[in-house]
Amino acid sequence: MLEVKNLTFKVNENGVERSIVKDISFSMENGEMLVITGPNGGGKSTLAKVLMGIEKADAGQILLDGADISDFDIDHRAKAGIGFAFQQPPRFKGMTVDRLLGLAAGEHLPEQEACRMLSAVGLCAKEYLKREIDGTLSGGEMKRLEIATVLAKPHKLCIFDEPEAGIDLWSFSMLIQQFERIHRKKDQMLMLISHQERIIRMADRIMVIDDGKIKHIGPREEILPALLTDEPSCTCMDREQ
Ligand SMILES: Nc1ncnc2c1ncn2[C@@H]1O[C@H](COP(=O)(O)OP(=O)(O)OP(=O)(O)O)[C@@H](O)[C@H]1O
Ligand SMILES: [Mg+2]
């Protein structure tokens, strides 16, 4: 279970303090899929980074299965069971794909296993194993590789920030299957940040974040109709044609 209490994150811009995450509280049950959506710049990625320890909260508390991880750095949070896929994955010059997957899995992976992980996100495995994670990989290749590193082992909480961004329709369908597989097992919490209707429709609960605050949170059946009928000024969701 994840419990987030009064989480606040501020930045200092030219001497002026600005709150990006404003006193956010919510919880997640084991096995739950929570989809976070909301307008661009609302604070979704920042909230996710604060949960992963990439950004340090100014106030608030984070409990994972009852343990207070608020003061843990990113490595400790990863060890405590949080996996994170960036909206814009970092590149690691000099690091090969198979080595990164091994690090993510916590052990050296036999070639067959690394290939299986790449295939699960639609990458033609053998072609990629010895590739460097540098500027030669396309945005969509980076994105799927990043997701593969989180899928490389089970976590208590998996956070995927806009997993659909920049990937082709075929790979998108494969990703949906991966999320459904994890969701069915009911042993990991899945937090997906997304603007995609197909992903939003998979949620047990939906959270809408706007201006650093939770605007809505509730079961999918309750929140989705409101999202679908929201006026066009609400740019939080890409609707399917
Ligand atoms: N370190 C920082 N310094 C200054 N401003 C920041 C910082 N981090 C985030 N912001 C600002 O905080 C706001 C929220 O950013 P964030 O990336 O969390 O939004 P988002 O909801 O993920 O948006 P999107 O849907 O476009 O991905 C934006 O206005 C962003 O410019
Ligand atoms: Mg974002």
Which ligand 1 atom is at minimum distance from the Cα of 87?
27
pLDDT of residue 228: 82
Q: Residue 127: what pLDDT?
A: 85
| Both tokens assigned to 153 | 């082992």
The pLDDT of residue 206: 98
**According to the model, what pLDDT value does residue 235 have?**
56
The bound ligand whose nearest atom lies closest to the alpha carbon of 49 is 1
Ligand 1 atom 8 nearest Cα = 46
d(CA 68, CA 229): 39
Strands 189-193 and 157-161: parallel
pLDDT score, position 234:
53
Sequential pLDDT tens for the chain (241 residues): 999 999 999 999 899 999 999 999 999 999 999 999 999 999 999 999 999 999 999 999 999 999 999 999 999 999 999 999 999 998 888 999 999 999 999 998 899 999 999 999 988 878 889 999 988 999 999 999 999 999 999 999 999 999 999 999 999 999 999 999 999 999 999 999 999 999 999 999 999 999 999 999 999 999 999 888 865 545 567 766 4
CA of 8 to the centre of ligand 1 (A): 14
Q: Ligand 1 mean position to 41 CA, how many Å?
A: 5
**C-alpha of residue 42 to centroid of ligand 1, in Å:** 7
| Residue 156, pLDDT score | 97
Nearest CA to ligand 1 atom 31: 41
Identify which of 193, 29, 53, 133 has the alpha carbon closest to the alpha carbon of residue 148: 133
pLDDT value at position 231? 58
The CATH homologous superfamily for domain 2-90+154-234 is P-loop containing nucleotide triphosphate hydrolases (3.40.50.300)
Residue type, 92: F
* 23 and 10 Cβ atoms separated by less than 8 Å: no
